[in-house]
Structure 1
Amino acid sequence: MKIKQFYDDGLAHASYAIISKGKAALIDPARDPKPYLDFAKEQKADIVAVFETHPHADFVSSHLELHTKAGATIYINGDMGAAYPHQILEDGEEVQIGEVTIRALYTPGHSPDHSTYLLIDEAAKPHAVFTGDSLFVGDVGRPDLREGAGKTKAQRKELARKMYHTINHVFKSLDDDIIVYPAHGAGSLCGKNMSSDKSSTIGREKEENWAFQIQQEEEFVKALLEDQPFVPHYFPYDVEVNRTGASPLEESIRAVSRQNYDVPLEKGVLIVDTRPKEQFKQGHFPGAFNIMNGEKFETWLGSIVKPEEPYYLIAENEQELDEVIRKAAKIGYEKQIRTARVVSQPKDQPSAKLDLEHFKEHPDAYQVVDLRNLSEGDNLFEQAQRIPLHELRERVEEIKTDKPVVVHCAGGYRSAAGSSILEGALDTKVYDLSEAVKDFTPQEA
């Protein structure tokens, strides 16, 4: 028996392959099937099964493509209401993979249609549990994503109660030495307090995970519902894509139209410029959003741009363009790319450059917009308006424009995006404080 974890840092997503006697099973695969197909080939194994813990909100799965290409059976919770070929596994039912067994455990809480998969080794001993978004290292899955998405919907409080019972009646009953393999780690928006560790044990979680320490149901529900992170626009969309099954990745990428940089752009269509902010500020298309290609590009693309909005995608060279198209595809956003193009030269509209010394000496002469989330501490400037980046487009009218606007976040990535959004929306000068925000951040002793 062999277990391999595949980890996507950008989405903090973990998926798994289990190999036994020439047979391979996958758990929660990402959009690109190639790493799994390559690994199975390397191991001289056939992919015979894909186990989905639930219809994921934060990435698009390749389960349907793996079914088509490899002939893998897709196993799911029956409450999912999937519209692709599948086999339902009820609570406690098992599937043989080579010499190992995978048993489905019903674990609602993050979603109403969530299953966990217990791996039983060749000696008939429970070895590992693939917990999806139910149990993380140090946390449990948020219960507020299925109030308006998926075939089966549920209110957050109802799901929080289900999570309490999942923790106390499913996970607490497992042996301490069972390895925990979750679908996400630190940085994912599917929970609020995840460890950077990519695996754990049931015993460690019983000792250290806050969710195992609370004995009273009402207290647990209150704690789980508090301080959950924001929900990106693309989350409900991806739930539905995963319920119905995504189109093959390479076919979908080839369908993205590419144009030369000098072809006129259609008015009224969003422009997502992924170039470094220094290049963007030298010159860009009027109204373009600067969502830089970086570790969290997918999350911010899906938080700023809505699933129903077509957009132009711009990069500084062909290699970067290929990369951002693939990143967009990870969340199912390749289909609304109107065209993709390389822009290596500055365009017509430069961004205004802040006179930092003047701002330091006369901060009251500016309207400051703080793009950090409410959980990120108090305002750094007395006159600041706090509008988290994911809410900015919907709240532009709240911003006072009788003064020039200075935009900041915690480090410079979000402020590049936010200032670019406001440039095209406000009738006043807009400046990006960028990394200079650190000059105003209190230093820890």
Structure 2
Amino acid sequence: MKIQQFEDKGLAHYSYAILSEGLGEIVLIDPARNPQTYYDFAEATKATIVAVIETHPHADFVSSHLEIHETTGANIYAHSMVGADYPYKAFDEGAVLEIGNLKLKSLHTPGHSPDSICIVLEHEGKDKAVFTGDTLFIGDVGRPDLRESAGSMTAKREELAHQMYHSTRQKLMHLADDVVVYPAHGAGTLCGKSLSDANSSTIGAEKTGNYALQEMSKEAFVKLLTEDQPFVPKYFGYNVGLNKQGAPAYKPTLKMVPRLAANYQPEEGAVIIDARNEKVFKQSHYKSAFNIQNGTKFETWLGSIVDPKENFYLVAATEAELDELIAKAAKIGYELLIRGAFVQSRPANASSPEINIEAFRQNLREHTIVDIRNGSEFKDGKYFENAINIPLPELRERATEIPTGKPVVIHCAAGYRSAAGSSIVEAALPQALVLDLGEAVNNFKNDKE
């Protein structure tokens, strides 16, 4: 037996291949959008992919389960409550999938979603591991507020939090302490609020160190689990629906993205996502473009700023970067929303002013300061006493709340988000002087300390 973990750092996502070495058969759990990694693993191990298990319809990434089924003939297993539109075998409570001397046993563990399951791996008569999806993380449990308006079955957060209490205490915590825990996410995901950066643990270690598994009343647990959760990106409900349906094949959809001539000029009013470096963007860009820089969290911020009901143009500095960005967009199904993609190499029709740090420092009260960090970050401490907090995911809808009688300074925690935020405010308030504090915010953080 071999367990192979695959990590997508951008979405803090873990997927798994379980290899029965004697039979040469592989079971995949929660695969990412690009299936090539799993095909490469099967080829390297001279094995065949025979099954794909979905622990639930994921909100934060698009799975390749349907494509793998259509390519390899592997059966898809999911809980019947998913109401899946793709061909699948019900993998409800107590169901067992046997692969050689391995048994994969389904536990119905609602809490993150009504249709969540965990998969217990039994080898030679002993439970060895549990694949917990978004139910149990290392140091946390899955948030209960993502299925209030998405999926085949919806439920209120309080109801799901009650269910999570029972799923953890009556099912997962009854497993042996030495059972290894393999979650679908690590630190950096928005599917929980306090995840460790470890990629595995044990039931015993989680009983000891996970705040959500400590002894407490159900009422206290529900209160704890429903407060201070991260923001919900715009794309989460869209991904639940796409995963319930089954996403189209990965490579063909990438090829379908319209590739436009360099320096193409989109029509007035179009949504333009310019992923070039913020310094290049500020020198010259198309009016009203949003500067979501290519980085490790590009896909998260793309899906937090752009609504899945919108189409958009995608701008990069090079053809190679454009390929990379389209692939990142595809991880959340947003390649389907790209109206056109092109390289920008010539000056365009707008630019952004640079901030004079010393002038700003000397005249803080002569500026309207907008802190675009998340609400929980803002609550933990302001960098500027007179700052207004409008989190980046809400900025397009709330930019008109910003007073424009003074220069507007946008800041975040380290500089990446403020590039996007300042471009959004600049587009929404064209008569205002909008300045990006950028990485210089670190100097002011030090002042506070």
Cα distance in 2 for residues equivalent to 1:213 and 1:299: 31
Secondary structure at the aligned position of 1:334 is classed as helix
- 1:209-246 superposed Cα distances (whole Å, 9 cap, x missing partner): 11111331101111111100000000000000000000
8 Å contact 1:138–1:195 — kept in the other structure? yes
- Aligned partners of 2:263 and 2:345 also within 8 Å: no
Output the amino acid matched with 2:387: A
Residue in 2 that maps onto 1:205: 206
Compute the displacement of 1:381 (Å): 1.7
Structure 1 counterpart of 2:365: 364
Residue 429 of structure 1 is matched in structure 2 by 433
1:306-363 per-position Cα deviation (integer Å, ceiling 9, x unaligned): 0011000001001110000000000000011000001123423111111111111111
- The Cα RMSD (Å) is 1.0
Residue 373 (structure 1) shift: 1.3
Find the counterpart in structure 1 of residue 82 from structure 2. Answer: 80
- Any conservation in 2 of the 1:22–1:98 contact (CA below 8 Å)? no
Q: Which amino acid aligns with 1:378?
A: G
C-alpha displacement at 1:382, in angstroms? Answer: 2.4
Structure 2 stretches lacking a partner, 5+ long? none
User: For residue 441 of structure 2, what is the amino acid of its counterpart?
Assistant: V
Matches within 5 A, 1:319-358: 319-358=320-359
Equivalent pair of 1:280/1:346 in contact (CA under 8 Å): no
1:403 maps to: 406
Mapped to 1, the partners of 2:421 and 2:358 lie a distance apart of: 22
Tell me the distance in 2 between the aligned counterparts of 1:183 and 1:369: 35
Q: What TM-score do you get using the length of structure 1 for normalisation? A: 0.98
8 Å CA contact 1:291, 1:300 repeated in 2: yes
Alignment of 1:169-318 (within 5 A): 169-318=170-319
Q: TM-score if structure 2 supplies the norm length?
A: 0.97
* 1:92 aligned residue: 94
String of CA shifts for 1:117-176, please: whole Å, max 9, x gaps: 00111x121110000000000000000000000010000000000000001100111001
- Aligned twin of 2:103: 101
Question: For 1:262 and 1:240, how far apart are their aligned partners in 2?
Answer: 35
Post-superposition offset of 1:267: 1.8
- In terms of mean alpha carbon deviation, does 376-385 or 39-48 score higher? 376-385
SS at match of 2:336: coil
Per the TM alignment, residue 374 of structure 1 is displaced from its structure 2 partner at its CA by 1.9
Deviation sequence 1:270-312 (CA, Å, 0-9, x none): 0000001011011001000000010100100000000011000
Partner of 1:385: 388
- Letter of the 2:283 counterpart: Q
Deviations 1:18-61 (A, max 9, x none): 01021000000000000001101111111000000000000000
- Contact residue 278 and residue 293 of structure 2 kept, 8 A: yes
Q: Which amino acid aligns with 1:356?
A: I
Q: Distance in 2 between matches of 1:184 and 1:33?
A: 18
Mapped partners of 1:212, 1:156: distance in 2: 18
Alignment of 1:126-145 (within 5 A): 126-145=127-146
CA distance in 2, matches of 1:45, 1:341: 40
Q: Render the CA deviation track for 1:228-271: whole Å, top value 9, x for unaligned.
A: 00000000000000000000000100000011123331222100
For the 8 Å contact 1:104–1:115, the answer to whether it is kept is: yes
2:8 aligned with 1:8, yes or no?
Answer: yes
CA–CA distance in structure 2, aligned partners of residues 440 and 90 of structure 1: 54
Task: Describe the SS at the equivalent of 1:401.
Answer: coil
Match of 1:164 in 2: 165
Which whole-Å CA distance do the structure 1 matches of 2:448 and 2:270 have between them?
Answer: 44
1:116 corresponds in structure 2 to 118
Q: Deviation at 1:202? A: 0.5
Q: Deviations over 1:172-209 (max 9, x none)?
A: 11001100000000000000000000000011001111
Matched residue SS, 1:290: coil
Specify the alignment match of 1:417 in structure 2. Answer: 420
1:444 CA displacement: 8.6
Q: Using the alignment, how far apart are the partners of 1:285 and 1:307 within structure 2?
A: 22
Paired residues of 1:379 and 1:386 also in contact (CA < 8 A): no
Contact 1:15 1:28 in 2 (8 A): yes
Figure out how many residues of one structure are paired with residues of the other and give that number. Answer: 444
Q: State the identity as a percent.
A: 55
Distance across 1 between alignment mates of 2:386 and 2:170: 50
Further displaced range: 262-271 or 152-161: 262-271
Give 2:435's aligned amino acid: Y
* Separation (CA, whole Å) in 1 of partners of 2:265 and 2:392: 29
Distance 1:94 1:346 in 2: 61
**What SS is found at the alignment partner of 2:107?**
strand
User: For residues 162 and 446 of structure 2, what CA distance do their matches in structure 1 show?
Assistant: 40
Structure 1 consecutive aligned stretches of length 4 or more whose deviation exceeds 6 Å: none
